């Protein structure tokens, strides 16, 4: 049974994997046997990432590229192929959020979120899939969100992008399932990372941020998720254990999507 979850000999690219959710997922994939490749926007971030992996005893291969730049992404995926090997597992993790009420949001801000969170996964998948076709197998994990299913004030662009990413996931599954490529989404609930730090910041009087209280009340598990909570599900979706799971979004949310909320 353990063999089904092994990733020995596999090469995994985790976009935006120098810290946070991407880093934790990469750490888990490495623990299951995979070689780790990640990218970030500049050399400083990549160097920090490499040092953080080193601290965990992991020799990771870091590359500088922006997932919204199709030409450079293709070049870097070719470079990875020459320097590390053909990618077996792609985790489309790089993402941004802008919390701005819709009527105040500029079109430029809206476009930027869509560009990174939706166009990025398309661009990186397009660069990586030909190698997977050559190898005869592949696993793509798109990091979705609660906002792939739910709306909320201030996150119109993010929700549109993550909802789109859910459908890109199903479309990659439809188009490449026959070629033995499984594309699934991993939908984290509210996870304590720098991205959500502003939503957890204590108030001036020391009390919990109202959004923090709201999330605790809205989550049957009654806590924020941790990046470790995502590790087992990520290994499952990257391994042979999920070979007939395709086009699925696995929400790892402590039950948020199942729950109507606490009765007042
Ligand atoms: P994060 O701050 O969103 O981390 C994202 C990473 O992506 C950072 O390393 C960032 O680099 C990188 N990045 C941003 N734009 C990029 C681009 N154009 N090209 C390449 N890399 C880029 O923190 P996170 O919370 O770990 O989020 C990771 C993913 O999970 C995101 O897709 C996010 O939407 C999703 N997610 C997060 C939560 C949560 O509760 N935290 C829940 C659901 C889904 P820099 O730091 O150098 O900009
Ligand atoms: C927000 C949050 C989210 C989460 C996550 C939920 O402002 O509501 O930042 O959108 O980060 O994506 O799954």
Compute the mean pLDDT over every residue in the chain, rounded to the nearest whole number.
Answer: 98
What is the H or E stretch that residue 233 is in? helix 231-238
Closest to 88 (Cα-Cα) out of 143, 144, 41, 29: 29
pLDDT of residue 1: 87
In angstroms, rounded to a whole number, what is the distance separating the alpha carbons of residues 97 and 7? 31
pLDDT recorded at residue 262: 82
Q: Which atom of ligand 1 lies at the shortest distance from residue 97's CA?
A: 34
The pLDDT tens digits for 208-254 are 999 999 999 999 999 999 999 999 999 999 999 999 999 999 999 99
Pocket of ligand 2 (CB under 6 A): 97, 99, 145-147, 152, 155, 158, 188-190, 195-196
Q: How confident is the model over 81-101, as pLDDT tens digits?
A: 999 999 999 999 999 999 999
Give me 243's structure tokens. Answer: 């070979």
Q: Does residue 264 have a pLDDT over 90? A: no
**Which 8-state DSSP code applies to residue 246?**
-
In terms of phi and psi (left: phi > 0; alpha: psi -120 to 50; beta: otherwise), the region of 180 is: left
Is the pTM of the predicted complex or chain greater than 0.95?
yes
259 catalytic per annotation = no
């Amino acid at each position: 049974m353990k063999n089904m979850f092994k990733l020995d000999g596999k090469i995994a690219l985790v976009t935006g994997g120098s810290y946070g959710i991407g880093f934790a997922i990469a750490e888990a994939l490495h623990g299951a046997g995979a070689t780790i490749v990640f990218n970030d926007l500049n050399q400083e971030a990549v160097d920090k990432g490499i040092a953080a992996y080193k601290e965990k005893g992991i020799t990771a291969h870091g590359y500088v590229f922006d997932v919204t730049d199709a030409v450079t992404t293709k070049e870097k995926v070719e470079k990875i192929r020459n320097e590390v090997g053909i990618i077996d597992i792609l985790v489309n993790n790089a993402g941004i959020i802008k919390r701005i009420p819709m009527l105040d949001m500029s079109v430029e801000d809206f476009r930027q979120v869509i560009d990174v969170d939706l166009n990025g996964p398309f661009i990186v998948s397009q660069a990586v899939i030909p190698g997977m076709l050559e190898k005869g197998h592949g696993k793509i994990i798109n990091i979705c969100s609660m906002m792939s299913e739910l709306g909320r004030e201030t996150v119109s662009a993010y929700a549109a992008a993550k909802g789109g990413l859910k459908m890109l996931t199903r479309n990659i599954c439809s188009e490449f399932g026959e070629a033995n490529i499984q594309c699934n989404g991993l939908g984290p609930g509210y996870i304590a990372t720098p991205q959500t730090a502003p939503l957890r910041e204590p108030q001036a009087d020391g009390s919990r941020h109202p959004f923090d209280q709201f999330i605790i009340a809205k989550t049957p598990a009654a806590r924020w998720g941790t990046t470790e909570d995502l590790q087992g599900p990520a290994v499952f979706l990257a391994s042979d254990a999920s070979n007939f799971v395709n086009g699925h979004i696995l929400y790892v949310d402590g039950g948020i999507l199942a729950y109507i909320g606490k009765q007042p």
